[in-house]
Structure 1
Amino acid sequence: MKKIGVLTSGGDSPGMNAAIRSVVRKGIFEGLEVYGIYQGYSGLIAGNIKKLEVGSVGDIVQRGGTMLYSARCEEFKTVEGRQKGIEQLKKFGIEALVVIGGDGSFRGAQKLTESGFPTIGIPGTIDNDIPGTDFTIGFDTALNTVIDAIDKIRDTATSHDRTFIIEVMGRDAGDIALWSGLAGGAESILIPENPKELDEVILRVQQGHARGKKHSIIIVAEGVCTAHDVAKQLKQQAEIETRVTVLGHIQRGGTPTANDRVLASRLGAKAVELLINGEAGKMVGIQNNQIVSHDIGDILTEKHFVGKELIDLARELSI
């Protein structure tokens, strides 16, 4: 193997640049030429490909987002679209590919492998919703962004004796909501994996008021409902006035934490090692602080779940 490619796909996440840097420099260290594919699978089909040197990835480890840009591509879901992408790879002499992204990106990687083109996936998503890895690149940074917002909102919630509802991202996973709610001392946390009845949320707020606590923080994962829906129901059912904050895409940006940078560097290097050793159709991840790999097909058929012990602990500590 002499030439490999790397692309980022789907939603961006802090630490993707660190992963790109790791793939490029590890590849060059091992004697490979490394090519960047810009704008994800869309750019692959269009042939938006450029050879990357050591200096091409200088001064990016601290930057959020992705220097290769990202895009979603419906055409790549078709056999014809994937064949166009493979032809572009062949045109540049690229023999294998590293894909950084989430489950949608991995489906594309799996299809490439099934078509005879070796591909390795690196989990890059703030949602932390990929099975086979304890953490995904970007989750830690997004988590700290949310916690910072919770701390600031609690200051004004305390000053005005108000209940605040904070909506966080995560798609169908509740990791951001659960971890940030636990770390931020939220009184109630609503996540898809453990949906609570609104009556329970109301009861918690009322119990707090009964013991003299006049402010509360409620964290809502976007996979459950909107924060505005919760606010409306609290008003209608219990006459509880609230203020709503929807953090939105601020959670995807910002300088990646040291944890995300180190994780991305470790996963990027491992992906290159797997390709050199003839592996394909695998995803690299981290479990119990050890870098591991799993078959992408297995990952895509497994279901992500959050730890029950964290759910129980959050409930116990928010009495």
Structure 2
Amino acid sequence: MSKKSTHIDRTYKDKPVLVVFFKSGTVDSYPFSNARYRQSYVDFFKLAESFFSIFVIRGKKNYIGQGVFRRGYRYTRGRFHPYRALIPAKVVFDKGSLHIDGTRGWAIVCGGALSRILSHKDKTYDKFKQFMKLQYRVYTKTDCVKALEKIKTSFAVFKPVDNFGGVGVRIAQKEKLLTKLTRYDGVLCEFVDTSSGIPGLAQSLHDLRITVMDGKAVQVMVRIPRRGSYLSNVARGGAVRQFYPRKIPSVAYRIVRRVDDALARFGHRVYSVDMGFERGRPYVFELNNEPCVPYRTWGTSHYMRWHRALLKVLRAAAKDAGSEPV
């Protein structure tokens, strides 16, 4: 790889460079610290390395502009090797909210404007409030008190504005929620009572996640909270059931279509729509720009479909990026 005037060579060993970007850490940090996530990434890389030279980058400090990174890890044949030269990406798969946009010659999946909508819960609500229960942006304890007065459900939910994996989420009766908070900068939401389940998919409390890749529903899973919890995130101990996309209830699928229609103008995208059913009506909880990769134990057909669909998105992004200006 070399850089000459305005032209940047975005290949390595005659293959376009794929950068998988994470927010922080070393090569062995989360999600690679989770053996099942690591195995899923490695299996995906084995599939993708026929088409890409693959690099893992950790931390925004290693981005220097124009799709060029430094100090990463080169993946090859099941292993990661430190790489200290410049790494000009053809495609960036952003798993760390880098919030940048590609230009001619290189692409980013879930670029800046899109990633902000997906990763900031207040921006998600501003764009898709018609599919969500009431939500209020709060910054202080006083804001929380005022918002709780407006919330009509007996339970309420507090979420940090940019959390993932259930970190910092608090669910409690309205009169008790403030005692559960150690911070007040976030969103307060009305509670969605999912205890009635989804016919054919879930009998009680649930979170329906539909992962969308370039407009296509690729993964459908119902996450069930562990006993005594309302949080269904896998990272929080939730159980998972996988379904084929044809099992998506039509009323939920219509919401997914309308969401993706609104996001299509932002280009190549990988994200999930998380929702729950309350007495037969679906409500969107949030969108997620970093849906987890699948575990092998969730089923081989689901596992491979997810990996192949992601590879299709990344190859399309590389093709659509075009040539570097000379």
Q: TM-score range by the shorter chain?
A: under 0.3
Name the structure where strand makes up a greater proportion of residues: 2
TM-score (norm 2): 0.24
Q: Which has the larger radius of gyration?
A: 1
Q: Which structure exhibits the higher relative contact order, with contacts defined as CA atoms closer than 8 Å and separated by 6 or more residues?
A: 1
More helix by share: 1
